Amino acid sequence: MLKGIDPRLNADMLHALRSMGHGDMLIVADANFPAESLARQTVLGRLLRMENLTAPEAVEAILSVMPLDTYVEDFAGRMEVIGAPEELPTVQQEVQATIDAAEGQRRPMIGIERFAFYELTKKAFAVVLTSEGRGYGDFMLRKGVILADG
Amino acid sequence: MLKGIDPRLNADMLHALRSMGHGDMLIVADANFPAESLARQTVLGRLLRMENLTAPEAVEAILSVMPLDTYVEDFAGRMEVIGAPEELPTVQQEVQATIDAAEGQRRPMIGIERFAFYELTKKAFAVVLTSEGRGYGDFMLRKGVILADG
């Protein structure tokens, strides 16, 4: 346990989040996502885990330390429901609310089609597997910057 | 860079600090300490680095997230000056001030004789090498707890 750091962020998560730079993507995966196989193709090359947490819980913990990219529209994304790309299931509404809270403003995630999401995952810094059991509980978060004064 | 986390704490440091538990010791070493050789005998088994920082700077960053052990007298220690065990060189006075600030009270480190310090280091969780160039800039910090409510 550490002062001022969400205890849901384990040692491997802190290492990965601190290692990421501007524009690097983190994929937050639900329990059905092909996480292990796709994680092997990421920069980190191995799967991270945040066990016994829903996707919104994991995203909340991650965003307590990770800034989102301010400069691009695809600062965050969600896997689109097949046949209903505009629909946001409850799990996605919850993650959107968490993002809005972290950003201090309404800032909608982009939708990403399922197979495009898999391709994007291969370009990510890392994949973190949650215990989210609801469908379409898969998200991309792109790291932003924290700048020194001056 | 991460929100609310001292940027002097690199990814390896965050991983180690999050991995440590109650009572585990971290050794903060100056530039002359036999850091690499002794680090091989610690729990972590490899040397951590906080480069281009003095020992007080490194300790300040570490204590921004790591709680010190509340329950024991040897919650922190300094390497004693040979022949003058009661003397605190400037580097040790600075670290003591950093500890007092983190604890919100005056809480003196214990003194540890040089060779006893080396033996203690072998029982530590890890050694972090700083760029401290002043003599006797070697310290032990013992991790405390952060408890949930109730």
Question: What per-residue confidence (pLDDT) applies to A142?
Answer: 98
* Closest-CA residue of chain B to A61: B3
pLDDT, one tens digit per residue, over A97-116 is: 999 999 999 999 999 999 99
User: Could you tell me which CATH number the domain at B11-142 has?
Assistant: 3.40.1650.10
> What average pLDDT does the structure give for chain A?
97
Question: What per-residue confidence (pLDDT) applies to B13?
Answer: 98
Query: Taking Cα atoms as reference points, which of B11, B16, B64, B20 lies closest to residue A66?
Result: B11
d(CA A50, CA A131): 7
Please judge whether B66 and A2 are an interchain contact, meaning their C-beta atoms are less than 8 angstroms apart.
Answer: yes
Q: What's the gap in Å between the CA of B148 and the closest CA on chain A?
A: 10
Please judge whether A12 and B15 are an interchain contact, meaning their C-beta atoms are less than 8 angstroms apart.
Answer: yes
The beta-strand segments (E) located in chain A are 25-29, 48-49, 76-79, 110-112, 126-129, 139-142
Residues in B lying within 8 Å of A, measured between beta carbons: 1-5, 7, 9-12, 14-19, 64-67, 145-146
Q: How many CA atoms lie within 13 A of B132 on its CB side?
A: 26
CB A41 within 8 Å of CB A127: no
Active site amino acids of B: 22, 69, 118
pLDDT, one tens digit per residue, over B28-83 is: 999 999 999 999 999 999 999 999 999 999 999 999 999 999 889 999 999 999 99
> Bridge-partner residues for A79, per DSSP?
A112
CB-nearest to B2 from A7, A11, A18 is A18
Query: Taking Cα atoms as reference points, which of A119, A107, A113 lies closest to residue A67?
Result: A107
Q: What's the gap in Å between the CA of A66 and the closest CA on chain B?
A: 5
Tokens 């391709």 belong to A119
Model-level ipTM above the cut of 0.95? no
Q: Where does the pLDDT of residue A70 fall: very low under 50, low under 70, confident under 90, or very high at 90 and above? A: confident
Mutate to test the interface with A, among B3, B43, B68 (most CBs of A within 10 A): B3
Active site amino acids of A: 22, 69, 118
Put simply, whether the predicted model's pTM sits higher than 0.90 gets the answer yes
Mean pLDDT of B112-139: 98
